[in-house]
Amino acid sequence: MHLSRFLLWRIAALSLAILLLALLLARWQAQRNIRHEALGAAQVARMLDHLGGLEAGPAADIPAHLAALRTIIRSGQLRHLRLRLSDQDGTLLLASPNPAASPWSSVYHWLLPLNTAPAQAPTRWTLQREDGPRYQVELALDPASEQRESLVGMLGLVGLLLGYSAAILLAVYGTLHLALRPLQAILAAIGGYQRDRYQARLAPMRIVELDAIGKALNHMAQSLQDAQRARAEMNRRMWQLQEDERRRLAGELHDELGQQLTAMRADATWLARCSEDRPELQHVARQVAGQCAQMQQGVRGLLQRLRPHGSPRVAGEPFPLRQRLQELLQSWRERPSQHTDYQLRIELAQAPCEDVALAIYRLTQEALTNIARHAQAASARIEVITESDGRVRWSVRDDGIGIADLASALHRGSGLAGMRERVLALHGQWQLHAGSPGDIQSGLWLQAHLPLQVSETSAFIAAGADS
């Protein structure tokens, strides 16, 4: 159903229901007014009957007639009339309340003034009994009762209109809320897409326009998910090639340059022994031997960075992550002019696969390099912990100067961007924050959530990569 038609039918149906309710309320109010008019007319008839009893009835019934008239006056049902009754001496026997004494009289006159109505003199007559007593009767119009009824009717009409308007607004709000409720799922899916999570799919919707949006978002999410998987697999292959190239370079450095430096150092040592009678030649030979030793030490450090595996391992043997990270931190601690305090915490319930372990090592290597170059930090803490869901949480925190613009930092250079791509390639989650979690401080906080095992490449991605 189209959104316009859905809203039209829903609002029309609710408006009709509200109108019927308003008509029922108006009918109830009309019945109430008719009942009050009937009661008022009945009280007037009773009043005239008792006044007739005062004039022509037995003398013994006079107190009863006076009591009945007082009851009628106190009931407030004597509509539009005020009664005053006096005896022949002018003594007031009973009288209706003065409307001017009511606290609401000023309100009635302000809202509904009577300056347009002509003044009406009260009607007076005498009740002459045959046995002698006379009574003076005075009936006057009571505009206050009519004002009160008109005001109540007006306020009721205003209240009815306000209620009808409020009910219409609530009906429209409810209809829009019901019609646009699928937008919550759409917004939730878009929020996930903004965080590079493309697994969410939207279910079919009743509204044609929203269903079209949902289908478009599902198609976009599927395309982005396929592209993300392809990019992750391409990055994995690229980093695998990089690791293979590092191993090859490390092997060539060890086999070629290492052997040559060893031979040169041996030759220089032999030359120094053979030139004891020529001090200047012996000095040069010893300098060459020392330079060869320094070059060998530099080559060892380069080999350690290129090949963190160390010596060849048995096939299937897990990557010694704890040992390699400890060696990496120790190498940074032993560097000259180093003032950063490095702390390492490793709590792994299960060793991750080689790809994940090597990624953690490379992430730590890059993070420590950035801290040494840019952070000016006094301390840095590295954590590798197994989470409750079985994943590995890697984090590095420092108390350095931090990064002013995180968004531009991910596009400037290849350090942080490469770390992020490496995490995403392993189907992990990447977080980057300025300051420590939960407070506003200087420094940088890097965190990644990685799986213990990396799934094999799908046939589709493998076929695309091979082609």
Residue 459: the pLDDT is: 31
* 46 to 53, 76, 149, 200, 250: CA distances (angstroms): 10, 14, 22, 80, 122
Q: Is the pLDDT of residue 355 over 60?
A: yes
**Mean per-residue pLDDT, 173-194:** 82
Residue 65: pLDDT band with limits 50, 70, 90: confident
Long-range residue pairs from 58-62, CB within 8 A, at least 24 positions apart, any chain: 59/129, 59/131
Q: How far apart are CA 149 and CA 104, in angstroms?
A: 13
DSSP state of 253: I
The whole-number average pLDDT for the span 55-65 is 86
pLDDT for the residue numbered 382: 94
For 219, 267, 334, 356, the CA distances from 347, given in Å and listed in that order, are: 41, 49, 25, 15
Among 233-237, 331-335, 417-421, 458-462, the range scoring the smallest mean pLDDT is 458-462
Q: Helix (H, G, I), strand (E, B), or coil: what is residue 458?
A: coil
Question: Who's near 354: CB < 8 A, 6+ residues apart?
Answer: 318, 319
Q: Which of 350, 347, 358 is CA-nearest to residue 309? A: 358
Per-chain mean pLDDT for the chain: 78
Q: Which of 427, 6, 385, 434 is nearest to 205 (CA)?
A: 6
Q: How confident is the model at residue 462 (pLDDT cuts 50, 70, 90)?
A: very low
pLDDT tens, 317-336?
567 888 889 988 888 888 87
What confidence tens digit (pLDDT) does each residue in 116-131 have?
455 567 888 888 888 8
Percent of the chain with pLDDT over 90: 7
33's CB contacts (< 8 A; 6+ apart) are 149, 153
Q: Where are the alpha helices (DSSP H) in 57-142?
A: 62-75, 105-111
Q: What is the rounded average pLDDT of the residues 338-361?
A: 89
Inter-CA distances, 188 with 191, 210, 375, Å: 5, 14, 36
Band the pLDDT of 457: cuts 50, 70, 90. very low
Question: Are the beta carbons of 356 and 379 closer than 8 angstroms?
Answer: no
Q: How confident is the model at residue 142 (pLDDT cuts 50, 70, 90)?
A: confident
Predicted confidence (pLDDT) at residue 156 exceeds the cutoff of 60: yes
2 has a pLDDT exceeding 50:
yes
Hey, is 138 helix, strand or coil? strand
The shares of helix, strand and coil residues in the chain, as percent rounded to the nearest 5, are 60, 15, 25
**What backbone torsions phi and psi does residue 248 show, to the nearest 5 degrees?**
-65, -45
pLDDT of 105: 54
Of the pLDDT bands very low, low, confident and very high (cuts 50, 70, 90), residue 20 is: confident
Q: Which of 23-37, 259-273, 351-365, 452-466 has the highest mean pLDDT?
A: 351-365
Check pLDDT > 80 for residue 228.
Answer: no
pLDDT confidence tier of residue 413, bands split at 50, 70 and 90? low
pTM of the prediction?
Answer: 0.47
pLDDT at 309: 52
DSSP one-letter code for 120 = -
- Residues 283-303: pLDDT tens digits? 888 888 888 888 877 777 677
Residue 323's identity, in one-letter code, is Q
The CA distances from residue 454 to 20, 233, 238, 357, 457, in Å, are 65, 11, 16, 11, 9
Distance CA(327)–CA(360), nearest Å, equals: 14
